Amino acid sequence: MLFLTFRCEGVEKIFSPAACRVVACRFGVKEPYRNFSSSRLGTCWTGDARISKDNTSKCTDYTSTLFKENSILQRPLYPPGFSEPPVHEEAMFVTNSVPKSLNHTTLEVKAFEMLENWAHERGPLHVLTGPAFDLDATGLKPSSETFQRMQLGPLSIPTHFFLVATWCSGEVESLGACDPQRLETSAFLLPNFPFTHNCESEEQTMWKNQARIVDIEKLTGLSLFTSLPAYQAVRLRTRVPDPIL
């Protein structure tokens, strides 16, 4: 998972406070989202010296029959095209690749278009994104035994990808300068695999898959907003999603 900072101008270095592996990323909205997983674009993943080979997925893992039959692609967790040159190579580390369904990618495009718009409209925007595994459809983080029992291929395929966006309702240079009472959030659990086909637009599907942050915490094992005053943390974590208009 990765903690990103969307800014219309300038760049910040942000660290994920609760990530299993901490990834530093300087991030700015420099160009529109592009699909970097297409073979047409010649994606070339590189090894990550920070992680042993035994604990790293291989590109050949994505050639299994299961992945091909279900159109599961090796895609970046966050778009390399958004990265600044000093960290652009890190975006192409194989450790930044995750199994995403072809159907999910249409939601991904819409999600990053939305975040770009929010960054321009609302100022500094922090985004936490990563995989979620609701393998037993309980809404709770699965046990290691469940992972072993439910794994069908060489890699565990996330059932969802979560996205938590945080911004300030006041005008500030960075979220660190925002009064906790003025922090606002919006969160999503976007389906990945299996993906139910319907006639909804990508935007409708996104808004119907809004989530409370506390539900994302239960599913991933993360604890968010731990440094905020208790009341403000509870307010953000239990915020009920906006009704669909």
Q: Which band of pLDDT confidence, cut at 50, 70 and 90, is reported for residue 42?
A: low
Q: How far apart are CA 194 and CA 158, in angstroms?
A: 9
Residue 95 in contact with residue 48, Cβ under 8 Å?
Answer: yes
Is pLDDT above 80 for 75?
A: yes
* Average confidence (pLDDT) over 179-200: 90
Tens-place pLDDT, residues 161-173: 999 999 999 999 8
76, pLDDT greater than 60: yes
Q: Which residues on adjacent β-strands are paired with residue 132? A: 160
CA–CA separation, 183 vs 239, rounded Å?
12
β strands within the chain, DSSP E = 2-6, 12-14, 25-27, 72-76, 97-101, 125-132, 160-168, 183-191
Please check the confidence at residue 81 and state whether its pLDDT lies above 90. no
Q: Which residues, listed in sequence order, are joined to residue 95 by a DSSP beta bridge?
A: none
Say if residue 177's pLDDT is above 60: yes
Q: Are 128 and 2 in contact (CB under 8 A)?
A: yes
pLDDT of 19 > 50? The answer is no
Please name the amino acid found at residue 21.
Answer: R
| Lookup result for tokens 């050639």 | 63
By residue count, the chain amounts to 245
Portion of the chain with pLDDT greater than 90, in percent: 38
Query: Quick one: average pLDDT of 53-79?
Result: 86
pLDDT digits (tens, 9 = 90+) for 133-156: 999 999 999 998 998 888 877 888
Which pLDDT score is estimated for 22? 30
